[in-house]
Structure 1
């Protein structure tokens, strides 16, 4: 690898972040900031984070290239049974899950419609009622964007 060239895993993580950013910022009132070193998407409350860690392993690739989101309680148990999902450090005790793009095989193997649906679920659970109404006024579904 030549000096100044990013390793392949970093390039893939950047591609995943760009797709996550595009999805998250399409929601009404959404903004982005860096919090604790991670791109964080929020309205008044955080609804998505790019990258996280596992309890005991803060640099695990499984969690570094991942979407952290708050699932609906009725879907959480089913999601956590799938290999691509994990319980992230810090956010996990509050009910959040992570979707590892690393475990899926990278940006080209991710179902981005599913990612948009997960982000929308998290957004609906954290955004104000007025922002959710605005989303519904747009057609209400991230997969239709």
Structure 2
């Protein structure tokens, strides 16, 4: 049984996440379990998620799941915007709620790009990380 689509392809939050993720060397997008997943050989970011025990897709429809540095994880969890996602949380992943009272322009996209960069570096093959390091710029959050 296929999973239902749990995102709107024209969602402005997704458009910004997509531009950040797909700017990274070798990055691609696929829909898995009804959500956009960004990957090289392994997934480094997922758009949308749920918390353990609650399968309602709405509360975190506009969220981003990433794998932060282990040393940064405790500090991130002190920020109310971050939660432990269902399924991925036990493996160190965190979910950032992107929704903001000011809308998409209220999001700190440089912070999002930094989180994506870290997650990418933790999951991508060494040759792609080297290509990222050799590139003139990294994910900047620019649209």
What range describes the TM-score normalised by the shorter chain of this pair? Answer: 0.7 to 0.9
Q: Which position in structure 1 is the counterpart of 2:31?
A: 34
Q: Which position in structure 1 is the counterpart of 2:75?
A: 78
The SS at the match of 2:68 is: coil
Q: C-alpha displacement at 1:140, in angstroms?
A: 5.5
Q: C-alpha displacement at 1:61, in angstroms?
A: 3.5
Q: Which runs of 5+ in 1 are unaligned?
A: 1-9
- Taking structure 1 as the reference length, what is the TM-score of the superposition? 0.85
Pairs aligned (count) = 134
In 2, distance between residues paired with 1:126 and 1:45?
A: 6
Aligned-residue RMSD, C-alpha: 1.9
Runs of 4+ in 1 over 2 A off after TM superposition: 139-145
**Equivalences for residues 48-87 of structure 1 within 5 A:** 48-59=45-56, 61-87=58-84
Aligned residues of 1:32 and 1:41 also touching (Cα < 8 A): yes
Question: Measured at CA, do residues 14 and 144 of structure 1 come closer, stay the same or move farther in structure 2, by a change above 3 Å?
Answer: closer
Q: Which position in structure 1 is the counterpart of 2:112?
A: 115
Q: C-alpha displacement at 1:31, in angstroms?
A: 0.3
The structure, 1 or 2, with the larger RCO (C-alpha pairs under 8 Å, 6+ apart) is: 2
Q: Which position in structure 1 is the counterpart of 2:86?
A: 89
Aligned residues of 2:20 and 2:140 also touching (Cα < 8 A): no
Q: C-alpha displacement at 1:57, in angstroms?
A: 1.6
Q: C-alpha displacement at 1:144, in angstroms?
A: 8.4
Q: Which runs of 5+ in 2 are unaligned?
A: 1-6
- Taking structure 2 as the reference length, what is the TM-score of the superposition? 0.87
Aligned residues of 2:27 and 2:38 also touching (Cα < 8 A): yes
CA radius of gyration, larger in: 1
Q: Which position in structure 2 is the counterpart of 1:124?
A: 121
